Amino acid sequence: MNAPRIYVLAPVHNRRAITEKFIRCLLAQTYSQWHLILIDDGSTDDTGKMVQAMVPHAALTVLRGRGNWWWAGSLHQGYLWLKQQKTGANDIVLIVNDDTAFHPDFLAKAVKAIKPGSLMVAQAHHVKGGLDEVGVRWDWKRLQAVAVTDMAEVQCFSTRGLFLHLADFLRLGGFRPVLLPHYLSDYEFSIRARRKGLALMTAPDVFLRYDDDQALTGIRNTQGYSALKSLRMNLSIRSADNPIYWMSFILLACPPRYIPLNLARVWWRFFAPLRKGIRRRLLRSA
């Protein structure tokens, strides 16, 4: 049986130095049967040209966007590209962040470990040392994601280093970039995969390293801004608290009995800055 090819889906945007470190990890792999699909969503720092200069032409495809694909849209473009290709029956997809690093045997160990009909996430180790998580458990009563290190608790995965067989990837139908263009799209994808019968798995020797300082992007904290400014910021695609996309996620992924409560909770959280502003005004005028 021929060795499977690994299609590496890597969305990038204006992080040339970070992307270059990722490419060097990829080029150092002992497993040579990989093809990088670099999804360059509107970079203006010549990230694409840098990668083209480093990666052999036969091992690289560059898909170029205009900066409006975001994470899920970028991955969906990779999915659409793969649908049009002649691929092997045993080929594998790796979805990965460019702000990760891994050892030269990373791909080789993943090929040995992954099982058909499964999602396998690379265990996340912090650059400062130690296992950070193997997956995520959702506390639907509180609408909170909890990082866990015990596979028995895992309900879904991030796409920071996610392996699955290409046939399974195509069967899942890609991502939902209109409903979930960025945040929460990875959790919805893996929850959907689990509902369709794919097993969630990991392997201790398949791991990568990441750095919080590089990984955390977008709008995650609006403290210090006025109430109206906070509301406007949280309606951005860049906001991890965007209520529109939280509603999409709840309707797509939440157990039905918790949907009404969590829809209400989303808007209660969204208007929290406005409530605080009103309280401060009332206290000052009292």
Domain extent listing, the chain: 6-215, 227-285
Predicted confidence at residue 286, as pLDDT, reads 61
pTM exceeds cut of 0.85: yes
What 3-state DSSP class applies to 256?
helix
Which residues make Cβ contacts (< 8 Å) with residue 268, sequence separation at least 6? none
What 3-state DSSP class applies to 7?
strand
From residue 249, give the alpha-carbon distance in Å to each of 41, 183, 257.
23, 9, 15
Spatial separation of the C-alpha atoms in residues 231 and 235, rounded to whole Å: 7
Task: Give the residue among 163, 245, 155 at the shortest CA–CA distance from 195.
Answer: 155
* CA-CA-CA-CA torsion sign (265, 271, 273, 275): negative
Q: Which two tokens stand for residue 72?
A: 């899920």
Question: Is residue 9 a contact partner of residue 63, using CB atoms and an 8 Å limit?
Answer: no
Predicted confidence at residue 246, as pLDDT, reads 98
Predicted confidence at residue 225, as pLDDT, reads 76
Domain range 6-215, its CATH number among 3.60.21.10, 3.20.20.70, 1.10.357.10, 3.90.550.10: 3.90.550.10
Which residues make Cβ contacts (< 8 Å) with residue 15, sequence separation at least 6? 45, 47, 98, 99, 214
Predicted confidence at residue 79, as pLDDT, reads 98
Burial of 149 (0-12, 13-18, 19+ CB in 10 A): middle
Question: Is residue 266 a contact partner of residue 246, using CB atoms and an 8 Å limit?
Answer: yes
Q: What is the pLDDT along the chain (286 residues), one digit of tens a residue?
A: 589 999 999 999 999 999 999 999 999 999 999 999 999 999 999 999 999 999 999 999 999 999 999 999 999 999 999 999 989 889 999 999 999 999 999 999 999 999 999 999 999 998 777 788 899 999 999 999 999 999 999 999 999 999 999 999 999 999 999 999 999 999 999 999 999 999 999 999 999 998 766 655 677 777 777 878 888 998 999 999 999 999 999 999 999 999 999 999 999 999 988 887 777 777 777 6
Predicted confidence at residue 32, as pLDDT, reads 96
Predicted confidence at residue 276, as pLDDT, reads 79
User: Which amino acid, 270?
Assistant: F
Predicted confidence at residue 128, as pLDDT, reads 75
CA angle in degrees (0–180, nearest 5) for 258-262-263: 120
Predicted confidence at residue 28, as pLDDT, reads 98
Predicted confidence at residue 222, as pLDDT, reads 77
Spatial separation of the C-alpha atoms in residues 34 and 130, rounded to whole Å: 28
